[in-house]
Chain A
Amino acid sequence: AQSVTQLDSQVPVFEEAPVELRCNYSSSVSVYLFWYVQYPNQGLQLLLKYLSGSTLVESINGFEAEFNKSQTSFHLRKPSVHISDTAEYFCAVIPAGGTSYGKLTFGQGTILTVHP
């Protein structure tokens, strides 16, 4: 079984400041990792994912996440946030292969609030 822990339930920051949203996971098998974003009263949108290869993955809107296998972490970062980044962010994992098709395990979510 897998588990995901997002270490901060809420992160308040000022506009143009850097931010890091932390995610740790536990799994006995290799996993794929995902970050999803949810704007108020909406569904989730995929922000970025790590499947294999380079441990640093980037999104089109300036976010990046680094897979650290030894620390079992997949922290999300952005060097300069905007008001429009205010949302809830979810880290998720899924076993790489096997019979757990599509069975994502989500963290509890981190609410990012960007203040002017």
Chain B
Amino acid sequence: DGGITQSPKYLFRKEGQNVTLSCEQNLNHDAMYWYRQDPGQGLRLIYYSQIVNDFQKGDIAEGYSVSREKKESFPLTVTSAQKNPTAFYLCASSQGRQSYNEQFFGPGTRLTVL
């Protein structure tokens, strides 16, 4: 089955630690995205990548980093510089660069900072 997988589903981290969230897709999509979801705030774009080895900052990139070394993988690192990292993180992908392309979402990772 084609789709997007995110791991782990739940993640706990101590303050001051970096943590990496995994996102893999086997849809052969060019574009991939990371969103952060907080209650009552909808989804906010952290980073996006239109092609391998290229990525762009979204609206709330501070304290986060990404890489896109392979087409199917787009890991997100939450660094210790992110002041309020506890949230639900969603990865998405779309077939092309055109804005009408549907974005397909993974099941999400819930990060809790202790």
> Interface digits, A1-12 against B, CB 8 Å rule (1 contact, 0 not)?
000101001000
Task: Kindly name the residue among B4, B90, B103 whose own CB sees the greatest number of chain A CB atoms within 10 A.
Answer: B103
Interface size on B, residues (CB 8 A): 28
Q: Output the residue of B31, B43, B98, B101 with the most chain A CB within 10 A.
A: B43
Q: How far is the CB of A79 from chain B (nearest CB, A)?
A: 25
CA of A97 to CA of B108 in the docked complex: distance in angstroms? 28
Q: Which residues of A contact B90 (CB under 8 A)?
A: 43-44
Residues of chain B within 8 A of A100, CB atoms compared: 99
Residues of A within 8 A of B98 (CB): 101
Chain A, 74-105, CB within 8 A of any chain B CB? 90, 94-98, 100-104
Contacts of A51 in B (CB 8 A): 100
**Is the pair B103, A108 in contact by a Cβ cutoff of 8 Å?**
no
Q: Nearest chain A CB to B65's CB is how many angstroms away?
A: 19
Known: A42-B108, A43-B106, A44-B105. A109 touches B42 (CB 8 A): yes
Contact among A6, A96, A102 with B103 in the assembled complex (CB-CB below 8 Å):
A102
Asked whether, in the complex, the Cβ of A104 is within 8 Å of the Cβ of B103, the reply is yes
On whether the beta carbons of B100 and A102 are closer than 8 Å, the reply is no
Q: Is the CB of B102 within 8 A of A108?
A: no
Is B2 located at the chain interface by the 8 A CB criterion?
no
Q: Give per-residue flags for B68-106: 1 if the beta carbon is below 8 A from chain A beta carbons, else 0.
A: 000000000000000000000010101001111111111
Query: Which 4 residue pairs of A and B lie closest in terms of their CB atoms, listed nearest first?
Result: A43-B105, A106-B42, A101-B97, A44-B105
Which B residues are within 8 Å of any A CB, using their own CB? 4, 31, 33, 40-45, 48, 50, 58, 90, 92, 94, 97-108, 110
Residues of A in contact with B (beta carbons under 8 Å apart): 4, 6, 9, 32, 36, 41-46, 49, 51, 90, 94-98, 100-104, 106-109
